[in-house]
Structure 1
Amino acid sequence: MSKETLQWLNQNTLIGFTDKRGTAWHYRADLQGAEPNHYSGAIPTGDVSRRLFHWEPVEQPIYVPSSGMEWTPNGHVPIPGTVEAVTDTGVLKLAPLHDRKAIQRSDTGHTMGIFTDSYQPHEYNEWLINTIATLLDDDLSIGSAGLLKNGAVAWVSVEVPDNVTTPEGVEFRPHLFGATSFDGSLATTFKRAVTSIVCDNTMAAGLGEAGQQIKIKHSRHSKLRIGEAREALNIIYQVADDFAAEVTTLCRTSVSDTEWNAFLDAHVPMPDEPGRSRTMAENKRDTLARLWNHDKRVAPWKGTAWGVVQAVNTYTHHEQTVRGAVRAERNMLRAVTGGVDELDHTTLHTLATVQNNPALLAA
């Protein structure tokens, strides 16, 4: 069972520009609650704060069972802050852990993480909404936002209003998203990426290299330099031209049937011995072949390097088995943490090796 139910996704994520990109895969009108979570145009900044970020991270002390005494050079002395709790078996003494704290949601009391005292939570409204509102201009708007892991992870995506379509028929949306967490899984991150409209895949802005990003650790003296964020945000306008040029190069790079089969051999090696591993490899290769030959998200670019990238990216986003997390959660976390960059780079590196074409990575 996924961590995020369909109801959670319909009530705790906001999807904008649906006139341009269509509805999200998880859209269910009967699970929307009092307000729909899809917007035909941009998502108002106030809606993100009101609907998603209306609560605060609260620091709470942590207590552990204790005798209430500790040894010092002066002998046993009471531990400061020790409290007593009445239980079914009697009175239990609890001593505070002075170098640890819990971060809880102010509205539900859900504990999102436990940290050392030096950890500084980056409140969503301050670090995502206020910062992005400062950076937005007339040509940029919020295109999506959401909470994952019971609110412990959040993102806000800034996008241009219109899709970009290359001469090869590849339609995409350049964007920059900010994300942070209260469970220790993410530093506050601002990162550029693109979304492929035909399959709703997040892809690296630079397919052959890691996309530009800014990361700020959750420390006492952490702060975001607006100049750096503005510089990163400005890159959103460069992404369209850079990505379109990459797509053109990849669409012009032919991949023969022999090279495609060689790519599958390298990308999904087939174990010699029968068993579960061989069955899984066979199923993956069969799915990739189906996407390559018949799926509208991939088949229009069959026989090209772009088709190879699309096949692997679409398989990973939409076909691969997901364990312990909902697909939307996993895909967003991969986009934030760099897994998308690694996926696209590895795909091109494997294809370049099969074709003996190092220029493919430098395109």
Structure 2
Amino acid sequence: MISSPDRDEAMQLIDEAVQEGASRRRACEELGLSVRTVQRWRLSPQDGRPLAVRDAPRNRLDEAQRQAVLEAANRPEYASLTPHQIVPKLADEGIYLGSESTFYRVLKAAGQAQRRGRAKAPQQRTLTTHCATGPNQVWCWDITWMPSTVRGRYFYWYMMKDIYSRKLVMNEVWEEESAEHASVLLTKGCLREGLAGGPLVLHSDNGSAMKGATMRATMVDLGVQSSFNRPRVSNDNAFAESLFRTAKYCALWPEKPFATLDDARQWVQRFVQWYNEKHCHSALKYVTPGQRHRGEAAQLLSRRRALYESVRMQNPERWSGGIRNWDLTGPVYLNPERAQAPAQMYKPAA
């Protein structure tokens, strides 16, 4: 419904356009109005709809009928049921009081439209987001299955990754998923990186190994802050998911399943060595995760930049613009789809 001030402003703009030589029809179209609407506004400047007295619908329930609906919905045996279940049950008793929509309208008018039964209302969980400005501030981890030669049997690759440098900091393969294995992996990783007692955020999904009592106790002992995905949203752990995709589609992945646990462990060791020290990562301006983790990326990219500048000066006719951008982005955010949000929405790593 358009207010009276907006009507007056629209008609004034149309009159100004007509005085400047525009047709009234085109002026109305620019405002998304029809000529008939503007004519009606001129005849009746005040909108009478808000003050109009309308007759009640002839099929409206009277007070006794509305009370019967409420009494039926509040019967002890129906107290935890929705109208979609109440109406058929009443029909089985030979009673019809109204449709499901009628029940919902009456319950809403009576302030009883909340969820029925013990079920809690769905909660909108905020996105877990952290910011890493250097290595060993935010890690993510996950577990993936590695097929074996026995159908239905898998080996489980436990992987922890630094989101800033993309380095695979800890990796192990076991025959089962357990919080005990995860706690051992985390302890080794903190000792290897010299983080025992230091600030670290560890992000994962909501698996049993991630939320097990042993793992949670180990995180408390090591001073590691836990961070978890929203339920059923695997994209919240995108760094880990993309790593497993890279692993299982790279040339190193074997064509046949792994025969033994040792075979799986040896393959993971080879992959980690390749990924950390030889894989030129596209998100890191094609330096390796190991170089980024050790702080060598800036010097390497500086040499690349100097080379490009030198070649451009020697052959300027081959360059239509500036040289390639070799600047690495500074902070890395967990869940980068929120990177355009205000800075206060991010939680810097402690």
Which TM-score applies when normalising by structure 1?
0.23
Larger radius of gyration: 2
Which TM-score applies when normalising by structure 2?
0.23
Higher relative contact order (CA 8 A, sep 6+): 2
Higher strand share: 1
Higher helix share: 2
